[in-house]
Amino acid sequence: MKDNNVENRRSEVLLEMETCVETGVESTESEVGSEYPAYVGMDVHKDTIVVAVAREGRSVPDSRGRIANTKKAVKRLIRKLSEEFGGEELLFCYEAGPCGYVLYHQITEMGHICEVVAPTEIPKKPGERVKTDRRDARKLARLLRSGDLTSVWVPNKEREAMRDLTRARDDFKSQEHRARMQLNGFVLRHGHAWPSGKKRWTEKHYRWLESIRFESPLQEMVLNDYIEATKAATERVRMITAEIEKALPEWSMAPVVYSLMALRGVAKITAIGVLAELGDISRFTSPKQLMGYLGLVPSEHSSGSKRRKGAITKTGNRHVRRLLVESAWSYRFLARQTAHLKRKAKLASPEAKTIAWKAQKRLCSRHRTLINSGKMKTVANVAVARELTGFIWDIVRHEMPKVKAA
């Protein structure tokens, strides 16, 4: 019975954490401040963790020293704190960073609540000039007690695995792009240029590259190495793309992926990347919250009667924002139902197809209107990406109940 209560409380707090980060509204002390006997702030590094504990009330957090960043040491710490506070449920937190969510999963599996905090959202006093690990841990514990921290969404292990796969592909694509640019730069530097109107990286293009000759054997060797590096990078991208497509049918979010593919500009890899990074998008209560979370809304600086808006905020998940901006470029053409779109949407639900056609008519018209009004192409495209986010939210909202029911 106690395990069920712990699991229910954990679900409630995770839902509250997600709501805080999505809406940009931080938890207040009345909501969080009196629910736990202790609030544990941890400054996490690769080898060590500095711990501080804030008790209920307004007392200064206690520093509990430094422990090794190992499962055994963390387990010992949690058991010691649990005994100290009568076995009651405690609230832990640490900053999101390169150490990932291993510590989060260990704490929650031991029956406590843990928040992974967004570093950029931690309040900072203008006069702070001294930064140490012990001070950081105390600060986290104090802010956790007052409810002034913003938590990030933590994926489950299945979604984290798919996210790692899509991020690896993104890294390999960057390596492929870099290798191609290096090869292009080398041959152009020696007076060899591929015609601008012809497609690159085809068999014909590679035959042309391999036919180039230099007087120095050293330069011949450099050219061959650049070509081999480019081919190897392309093959690596192909292989990991095949692995993603192979893993998709077994993924719990596969039906939602197929439905998102009904949208113009959203291919299979794009849909997988968006869902792997964000998970259940329907947890956002409105599309505006999702747009704000992805940093696609204009920044604003207002004071009194003066109101000034600027470029988009660029907060939140940069990877998803880039995917959506790239997808939005396809809406600069007229809306139409092509054979390619019909094939792509073959496995989508009827509701998703209806929403996708509505999105295509709206966004194509929107892009054309913005361009005709004098907006730059890039500005118009970001505006379209922002509205595309709303249609993605709508499709996921229709599809997620079916996935959960299954």
DSSP state for residue 100 in the 8-state scheme:
T
Q: Do 386 and 266 sit in the same domain of this protein?
A: yes
Q: Do 259 and 396 sit in the same domain of this protein?
A: yes
Other beta carbons less than 10 A from residue 208's beta carbon: 16
Q: Do 397 and 262 sit in the same domain of this protein?
A: yes
| 151 located within any domain | no
Tens digit of each residue's pLDDT, the chain (406 residues): 444 444 444 444 444 444 444 334 333 333 444 589 999 999 999 999 999 999 988 899 999 999 999 999 999 999 999 999 999 999 999 999 999 999 999 999 999 999 999 998 899 988 888 999 999 999 999 999 999 998 888 998 899 999 999 999 999 999 999 999 999 999 999 999 999 989 999 999 999 999 999 999 999 999 999 999 999 999 999 999 999 999 999 999 999 999 999 999 999 999 999 999 998 898 899 999 999 999 999 988 888 888 888 889 888 889 999 999 999 999 999 999 999 999 999 999 999 999 999 999 999 999 999 999 999 999 999 999 999 999 999 999 999 988 887 7
| 152 located within any domain | no
Rounded distance, CA 199 to CA 191, Å? 19
What are the DSSP E strand ranges found in 3-155? Answer: 38-44, 48-55, 62-68, 91-95, 113-117
Short-list 241, 360, 287, CA closest to 278: 287
Domain boundary residue, one of 250, 285, 311: 250
| 358 located within any domain | yes
Residues 360 and 335 sit within 8 Å (Cβ to Cβ): yes
| 294 located within any domain | yes
Q: What is the domain count for the chain?
A: 3
The β-bridge relationship of strands 38-44 and 48-55 is: antiparallel
Question: Given the structure tokens 């209920």, which residue do they identify?
Answer: 56
Domain boundary residue, one of 250, 276, 293: 250
**CA angle, 38 as apex, 37 and 39 as ends, to 5°?**
140
| 392 located within any domain | yes
Q: Do 230 and 310 sit in the same domain of this protein?
A: no
Q: Do 264 and 336 sit in the same domain of this protein?
A: yes
| 20 located within any domain | yes
Q: Note down the domain range covering 191.
A: 157-250
Give bridge partners of residue 51 from the DSSP assignment: 42
Cα dihedral sign, 89-94-96-101: negative
Q: Do 205 and 295 sit in the same domain of this protein?
A: no
Q: Do 8 and 117 sit in the same domain of this protein?
A: yes
Q: Do 397 and 290 sit in the same domain of this protein?
A: yes
Rounded distance, CA 61 to CA 40, Å? 9
| 29 located within any domain | yes
For 302, the token pair is 């207002």
Q: Do 178 and 265 sit in the same domain of this protein?
A: no
Q: Do 27 and 142 sit in the same domain of this protein?
A: yes
Q: Do 261 and 377 sit in the same domain of this protein?
A: yes
Rounded distance, CA 94 to CA 106, Å? 13
Q: What is the dihedral of CA 247, 252, 258, 264, to 10 degrees?
A: -90
| 339 located within any domain | yes
Domain boundary residue, one of 117, 146, 175: 146
Cα distance between the two ends of the chain: 27
Residues 6+ positions from 366 with CB-CB distance below 8 Å: 331, 383, 384, 387
Model confidence, pTM: 0.84
> Which CATH number covers residue 55?
3.30.420
Cα dihedral sign, 138-143-145-149: negative
Residues 6+ positions from 147 with CB-CB distance below 8 Å: 26, 27, 28, 29, 31, 32, 33
Q: Do 227 and 291 sit in the same domain of this protein?
A: no
User: What is 299-338 written as a DSSP string?
Assistant: EEEEETTEEEEEEE---S-HHHHHHHHHHHGGGGSPP---
Rounded distance, CA 87 to CA 61, Å? 20
